[in-house]
Structure 1
């Protein structure tokens, strides 16, 4: 399951990080610090999300 979670992390992490960066830009933050914080937050949040998605996939199959 770790292998599946790591593959999913590569997809989910970039998606969440990109979404949070776009959200930060829409809210008016246009300096480096808030954009980096949003990207890092997306990658951190993606760890448990990818684990839960992998767990659901394994339980279904």
Structure 2
């Protein structure tokens, strides 16, 4: 599951980080440290998102649990 989470992190981090940068630029914050901080915050927020997605995909691939 860790490999799946790592691959998902690459995709999720770029999407969340990019969205954070766009949000900062929309608020007319154009200094370099503001853009970099928004991207870094997006990278941090992407960690639990990727872990949650990986867990759900992994559990879905295991099939139904026997009762």
TM-score range, shorter chain: over 0.9
Name the residue aligned to 2:42.
Answer: 42
- For the pair 1:21 / 2:21, whether they are aligned, the reply is yes
Name the residue aligned to 1:5.
Answer: 5
Structure with a larger share of its residues in helix? 1
TM-score of the two chains, using structure 1 as the length reference = 0.97
**Runs ≥4 residues deviating over 3 A:** none
Which structure has the larger Rg over C-alpha atoms? Answer: 2
Query: What's the CA shift for 1:33?
Result: 1.0
Aligned-CA RMSD value: 0.5
Name the residue aligned to 2:64.
Answer: none
TM-score of the two chains, using structure 2 as the length reference = 0.88
Unaligned 5+ runs, structure 2: 62-67
